[in-house]
Amino acid sequence: MAKRTPQDKGKAFESECIEFLKGMMVQRRCATHRLYDTHSAGALLPPQPGDCFHVHDGKLFLFEFKSSGEYDTLAGSRGPLNSLFSADQIALMRIWHRAGAITTVVFKSQVNGIIQAWDGNYIAGKYVGGRTDVAFSTEDRRFKSDSRIEVLLKHVIADALGYW
């Protein structure tokens, strides 16, 4: 059996997240729509703002799922931001945020297995601003961390909807 590449692991993580969100549709009034992957389509599609849209209790979420075998977090240096995001994707993420979407980047480290949820507009601002101090405390509402995707995604949605 061939060893799974970091890209394979990243696609598996993305699929796991989207399947969890789709599973929520059975239990709650919500909907998830997966966006086509520009790279998989052979550049026949324009750049996409993220991996999926999710509507929950009248709020629109834009989720981008990232995974890395090189980086253990998005915090710290600009390396992860420059490596994992394109300028087009950041620009589109900012437009959707301005239109009212709750933009969220969900990052999984293949190094330590920790999953982090970041405010997408904050990440976009750091990317555009050229800042290198992407850092959060555990009390910061723009950042959440867990080792279980279902707990993390429920927390992101509940927090955005004001359920806490």
Domain of residue 132, CATH code: 3.40.1350.10
Q: What is the pLDDT of residue 123?
A: 86
Q: What is the pLDDT of residue 74?
A: 83
Predicted TM-score of the model (pTM): 0.86
> For residue 72, is it within any domain?
yes
> For residue 16, is it within any domain?
yes
30-50: per-residue pLDDT in tens? 999 999 876 665 667 788 899
Q: Average pLDDT of 146-164?
A: 83
Query: Which domain does 58 fall in, by range?
Result: 6-160
103-150: per-residue pLDDT in tens? 999 999 988 888 889 988 888 888 877 654 445 444 455 567 777 888
Closest CA to 35 of 65, 8, 69: 65
The total number of structural domains that make up the chain: 1
> For residue 1, is it within any domain?
no
